[in-house]
Structure 1
Amino acid sequence: MAAEVVLLLRGLVREKRHWLNFPSQVAQQLNVPVLTLDVPGCGALCQQPSPLSIQQMRQQLQQQFGLQFPQHRHARLHLCAISMGGMLALDWAVAAPAQVASLVLINSSSALSPFWHRLRPAQYFTLLRCMLSRQPEQREALIWQLTSNQPLQPEVIQQWVHIACESPVSAANAARQLWAAARFRPVTKAQCPVLVLASQADRLVDWQCSERLARWLNAEVRLHSEAGHDLPLDDPHWLLAQLKLFYSKVKCGLPAI
């Protein structure tokens, strides 16, 4: 039997370090390797241009996976992804059904939903301020305001600022990713088990986008009543519990319940 690996994918203009210590928590609880990748234009790949489509972005991620983790080339992948990462994960599952064993889509969306649900109009001004800000501290504080419902944590903001200064995402790459995400519309359903998780108090993306995506995929959906868009940040314990239950059912490292 092929080995099993959990691969975590972040969203728009975010990189693998924005998972903070969540990957190690997942690895400890599931007793399986947990890997992360950066989208071109972010993190270690911040100097590269971001592709203009989710399909092209996913193809580059697949290439990266093979190059960075050759020891897991034949592993069964359990893709766990947030926001735009969910679009990449869904596209990956459709393109490589023999490779992808399951999907967990967190606060994701698609063109199945109207644009005013995919990006709440009330946040347009804050998002514009964020994109125009030249001060990392201000920009990351605005991102917190958009994505988290928790009181601001200065130590996390400082980590984000360090990431932004070390691996800055250009305005051009941010725009290219936004363009790719805005145009994503799934046309083929994934054949693997799918779990959709959504935050009902998400101030950036309407949770109904996740509900509509789950309905289209015939997937189970579970809702968090208080967390913001960055669910792994706002309530990692709840998220980990959902992953443990789901992965036990698809036999990822844990015995079935």
Structure 2
Amino acid sequence: MSAPWILLRGLTRESRHWGAFAPLLEKRCGAVLPVDLPGNGTLVHVRSPLAVEDYVDAVRAEVQRLGARAPYKVLAMSLGGMVATAWAQRYPEEVAQLVLINTSMRPYSRFYERLRPAAWPALLRAAWHWRAHGEDVIAEAAIHGRTCARRDTLAADLAAWRAIRASAPVSRANAVRQLAAAARYTARGVPCCPTLVLSSQADQLVDPVCSARLARAWGAARREHPWAGHDLPHDDPQWLVEAVCAAFAASDAEAASRSLGAG
């Protein structure tokens, strides 16, 4: 059996926020296993750690609990990308392929590139209305405006996101702790596995230069979407699936050939 794709989302987002992307990836590229970070989704009642390394421990434990066996392919965005990077660096034998989407980390990015100043007012608005009764739509609309370039699905997106929030509300304290963990994380070393770095040209939350510097420093493959926002899986899931499958087609074919030969 081929390695499953472990999917990790970012700040305050969970597995259901992958939307149409997860089933598309599974159809094209094999088994998919979305995993929530502590404090989000199925783990909403867990206290979010302040260190990215602690998220790695939690994700590894959850993946093992769900019965998946290493090596894994890991696709992650934003904070999830930092967790995936730390995982690949600490346990290189467990991560066979790595895809990072619109992520950023020290020492490759400056603080005002990792969180664009123009996005601060919208994020403050979301924080102010985070748990206010009946005002969840304001928070989700503020997030949508800064993370999504597509507006044709706005009404449906807000309805879905509000339903997710109602069933698994992330606490303001956990949101702050996740933000602190992201801000503090510093990458050490270069992942040994094949790595694809993806960014969105119209990202209004994280400057695409963060991905460009990261790919250059690591010698990793990189592609940039021409119009999508920060939430690339939302804006153009089909493009993302094609980019991932194309990037690893050769290595997957080689692995399949070795497996057949061993059999």
**In structure 1, what is the equivalent of residue 195 of structure 2?**
194
Match of 2:83 among 66, 84, 88: 88
| Cα separation, 1, equivalents of 2:58 and 2:233 | 25
- Residue type of the alignment partner of 2:79: M
**In structure 1, what is the equivalent of residue 123 of structure 2?**
127
1:153 deviates by 2.1
Give deviations 1:115-137, integer Å, cap 9, x for gaps. 00000001111100001112111
Distance 1:3 1:29, change over 3 A: closer
SS at structure 2 position matched to 1:98:
helix
Contact in 1 for aligned 2:24/2:238 (Cα 8 Å) = no
In structure 1, list runs of 5 or more residues that go unmatched: none
**In structure 2, what is the equivalent of residue 145 of structure 1?**
145
- Residue type of the alignment partner of 1:222: R
SS at structure 2 position matched to 1:4:
coil
**In structure 2, what is the equivalent of residue 12 of structure 1?**
11
Contact in 1 for aligned 2:20/2:237 (Cα 8 Å) = no
Contact in 2 for aligned 1:4/1:252 (Cα 8 Å) = no
- Residue type of the alignment partner of 1:95: R
Normalising to structure 2: TM-score of the pair? 0.92
Distance 1:252 1:123, change over 3 A: farther
SS at structure 1 position matched to 2:55:
helix
Alignment of 1:101-120 (within 5 A): 101-111=96-106, 112-120=108-116
After the TM superposition, list the runs of 4 or more consecutive aligned residues in structure 1 that deviate by more than 6 angstroms: 252-256
SS at structure 2 position matched to 1:122:
helix
**In structure 2, what is the equivalent of residue 205 of structure 1?**
206
Contact in 2 for aligned 1:247/1:254 (Cα 8 Å) = no
1:252 deviates by 6.8
Contact in 1 for aligned 2:72/2:94 (Cα 8 Å) = yes
| Cα separation, 2, equivalents of 1:239 and 1:249 | 17
**In structure 1, what is the equivalent of residue 260 of structure 2?**
none
SS at structure 2 position matched to 1:102:
strand
**In structure 1, what is the equivalent of residue 261 of structure 2?**
none
Give deviations 1:132-182, integer Å, cap 9, x for gaps. 112111111111001011115211211100000110011100000000000
Query: RMSD over aligned Cα, in angstroms?
Result: 1.6
Alignment of 1:39-188 (within 5 A): 39-68=37-66, 70=67, 72-73=68-69, 75-111=70-106, 112-133=108-129, 134=132, 135-151=135-151, 152-188=153-189
Contact in 2 for aligned 1:79/1:103 (Cα 8 Å) = yes
Distance 1:145 1:26, change over 3 A: same
1:249 deviates by 2.5
1:255 deviates by 7.3
| Cα separation, 1, equivalents of 2:254 and 2:13 | 28
Aligned residues: 251
| Cα separation, 2, equivalents of 1:21 and 1:200 | 21
1:24 deviates by 1.0
SS at structure 2 position matched to 1:88:
helix
SS at structure 1 position matched to 2:92:
coil
Match of 1:38 among 31, 36, 39: 36
Distance 1:109 1:174, change over 3 A: same
| Cα separation, 2, equivalents of 1:46 and 1:234 | 25
Contact in 1 for aligned 2:20/2:234 (Cα 8 Å) = no
| Cα separation, 2, equivalents of 1:190 and 1:78 | 13
Normalising to structure 1: TM-score of the pair? 0.94
- Residue type of the alignment partner of 2:74: L
